[in-house]
């Protein structure tokens, strides 16, 4: 089993979708990511929370075996995000972002975290992503996520991060904003010329596209009867993807494709309920069973 290091946000989210509304529930890029990855590999978390972060949430993360030595507790309030989705659930509209303790956060890396087998720079200030990257022994795979907030606010720092990562995982709207083109193939060309060897574009209910030197791979999203809240789908996808890669150590084309399917399986569970409610009671058996359904969904025999 590998050890996967993640830096990102731990948050209180308030979310409205056409199917319900929740306030100040557990969220954050690193929370979704590490919970999802913990089904596959050992996870070391780097993040910050304020004095208002309850023991109950810490207990949950510990119960998933996530190492919290790098979760800093600081005076002040935990990061808060408020967003809403229309019936077109693919993209959140951010209503409020309160960085709070994230504003002055400088990641400290515990000694046992410094030689990760895989690193995920979750959605957080690109300067913090760079800081973490510079403080650890570079593993053979480094992946990164971001969002419009940082693409608009810290573009130069973000491009600097991208020079040093192997895989960028972002959604289609963000990819278009970053690549400054409406056409995703052109966007991929531009981004791949800047550093990352692989670009994974998440397209919500339309699935994902993986672009790299040797070609393009596409996977659909699993067709679900119930979708309540897409928040964290991207991070949950990335957690399954990186968790699987960290455990297998197989970064070949075949390995990456397999990891994409595990990421898609994890994301498909997450969107069924609000916050991390579905992930909290998810079992390994359910993951394996949906993986088998995914295999059937995407399989075809070539007749010629």
CB 83 to ligand AMP: min, Å: 7
CB 124 to ligand AMP: min, Å: 5
Stretch that binds ligand AMP, among 7-15, 40-48, 154-162, 218-226 (CB under 6 A): 7-15
Interacting positions 225-254 with ligand AMP (CB under 6 A): 231-235
172 binds ligand AMP (CB under 6 A): no
CB 264 to ligand AMP: min, Å: 13
In Å, the largest CA–CA distance within the chain is: 64
6 binds ligand AMP (CB under 6 A): no
Interacting positions 95-124 with ligand AMP (CB under 6 A): 97, 123-124
Handedness of CA 248, 254, 260, 266 (dihedral sign): negative
Cα 138 to Cα 8, 24, 104, 153: the distances in Å are 18, 35, 25, 27
Stretch that binds ligand AMP, among 23-31, 159-167, 189-197, 206-214 (CB under 6 A): 23-31
Provide the 8-state DSSP code for 77.
Answer: P
Stretch that binds ligand AMP, among 8-16, 60-68, 112-120, 187-195 (CB under 6 A): 8-16
CB 302 to ligand AMP: min, Å: 34
CB 301 to ligand AMP: min, Å: 35
Return d(Cα 270, Cα 286) in angstroms, integer. 12
Return d(Cα 207, Cα 209) in angstroms, integer. 7
Q: At what angle do helices 29-37 and 233-248 cross, to 10 degrees?
A: 40
Return d(Cα 40, Cα 245) in angstroms, integer. 9
- The SS3 assignment for 26 reads strand
Among 5, 9, 45, 239, binds ligand AMP (CB under 6 A): 9
29 binds ligand AMP (CB under 6 A): yes
Our measurement of the distance from residue 196's CA atom to the centroid of its chain's CA atoms, rounded to an integer in Å, reads 16
- The DSSP bridge partners found for residue 196 are none
The residues that touch ligand AMP, with contacts defined as CB under 6 A, are: 9, 11, 13, 27-29, 81, 97, 123-124, 147, 149, 231-235
């Amino acid at each position: 089993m590998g050890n996967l290091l993640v830096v990102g946000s731990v948050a209180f989210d308030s979310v409205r979708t056409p199917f319900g509304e929740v306030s100040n529930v557990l969220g954050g890029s690193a929370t979704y990511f590490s919970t999802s990855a913990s089904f596959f590999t050992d996870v070391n978390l780097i993040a910050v929370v304020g004095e208002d972060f309850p023991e109950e949430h810490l207990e949950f993360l510990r119960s998933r075996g996530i190492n919290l030595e790098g979760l800093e507790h600081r005076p002040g309030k935990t990061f808060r995000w408020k967003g809403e989705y229309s019936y077109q659930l693919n993209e959140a509209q951010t209503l409020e972002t309160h960085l709070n303790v994230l504003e002055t956060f400088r990641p400290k890396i515990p000694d046992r975290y410094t030689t990760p087998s895989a690193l995920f720079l979750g959605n957080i200030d690109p300067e913090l992503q760079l800081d973490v990257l510079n403080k650890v022994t570079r593993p053979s795979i480094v992946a990164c996520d971001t969002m419009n907030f940082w693409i608009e606010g810290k573009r130069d720092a973000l491009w600097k991060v991208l020079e040093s990562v192997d895989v960028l995982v972002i959604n289609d709207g963000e990819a278009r904003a970053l690549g400054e083109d409406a056409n995703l193939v052109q966007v991929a060309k531009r981004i791949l010329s800047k550093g990352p060897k692989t670009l994974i574009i998440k397209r919500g209910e339309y699935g994902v596209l993986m672009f790299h030197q040797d070609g393009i791979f596409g996977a659909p999203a699993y067709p679900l009867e119930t979708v309540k809240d897409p928040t964290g789908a991207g991070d949950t996808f990335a957690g399954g993807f990186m968790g699987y890669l960290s455990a297998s150590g197989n970064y070949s084309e075949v390995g990456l494709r397999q990891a994409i399917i595990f990421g898609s399986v994890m994301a498909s569970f997450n969107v069924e309920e609000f916050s991390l409610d579905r992930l909290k009671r998810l079992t390994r058996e359910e993951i394996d069973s949906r993986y088998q359904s995914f295999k059937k969904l995407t399989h075809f025999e070539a007749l010629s």
